[in-house]
Amino acid sequence: MDVKAFILDMERIAPPELAEDFDAGKIGLIVEGAPEFDVICCALDATPAVVNEAIRLKAGMLVVHHTPLWAPLTALTGPVAALMRDVLSARMNVWVMHTNYDHAPEGVNDALAELLSLTDTVPLTLGLVGTCMIAPAEISQRLGCPLRIWGDPGSIRRLAVIAGSGFDPEFLREAEEKGADAVLSAELKHSVMRSAPLPCIEATHYALEAPAMRRLAARRGWHYIEDEPRLKTVP
């Protein structure tokens, strides 16, 4: 596939103008490799394990949700240098679709709503609210991760979902105004939890965003590479 044709296709799926301001310069083709390729891989993050697997599969394009280059670089050293060395040596392109994919139709939050069978959805600034017919235990099973719950969600009728780190006081107020009974997101802080107007259901960041990347890969015939962070408990 020609990289220019690929870019046009990706910008149709997740238009760059949908991205939040903080994503300026961090989406699109962030690493330029070979101008033509046959194999495309997809993952949530461009971790060393993901890059190594993409190289093993002889991928010419790696599509990820989170950029591996968050901050402007004045030096290329350490783990970032090692990662970029492998990517560039393989002449692999890296394409990032972050908050533009969050906002896009059929994007990150829509994929999450589909996975949880939410209906009658209405948009939020960074998520959506929909009618929920399943209990937290079923939500946990479908996401494939344990949940932490603050408050008593009881029988959830309308669930707000915000993929990624969405436990922001402003988002919680918006969810309440849109009729949500509870909010599902990731990375709940103690300070937010204490003043939350709604019960909060906390999943992992990976579990909330990976479904969209898996679905994208399946629909496009790409290879999806799993690399979920594993937490260990200690006595």
103-119, pLDDT tens digit by residue?
998 999 999 999 999 99
Residue 116 has which token pair?
């949880």
pTM: 0.93
pLDDT of 197 above 60: yes
**Regarding beta strands 128-131 and 158-161, do their DSSP bridges make them parallel or antiparallel, or are they unpaired?**
antiparallel
Per DSSP, the three-state class of 96 is strand
130 - beta bridge partners? 159
pLDDT of 233 above 70: no
pLDDT on residue 98:
96
The CATH label, of 3.40.1390.30, 3.30.420.40, 3.20.20.70, 3.10.20.30, for the domain at 105-209 is 3.40.1390.30
Domain boundaries, the chain: 3-102, 105-209
Q: What is the pLDDT of residues 135-184, one digit of tens each?
A: 999 999 999 999 999 999 888 999 999 999 999 999 999 999 999 999 99
| Burial of 5 (C-beta count, 10 Å sphere; 0-12/13-18/19+) | exposed
pLDDT of 34 above 70: yes
pLDDT on residue 146:
94
pLDDT on residue 234:
55
| Residue 4 to residue 111: CA distance in whole angstroms | 27
Whole-number CA gyration radius for the chain: 19
**33 with 60: CB under 8 angstroms?**
yes
Q: State the pLDDT confidence band at 50, using cuts at 50, 70 and 90.
A: very high
Tell which wins on pLDDT, 67 or 73.
67
DSSP code of residue 222: P
- What number of CA atoms fall less than 13 Å from residue 181's CA on the CB side? 14
Residues of the chain with pLDDT > 90, as a percent, come to 88
**Do 105-209 and 3-102 have the same topology in CATH?**
yes
Q: Which CATH architecture has domain 3-102?
A: 3-Layer(aba) Sandwich (3.40)
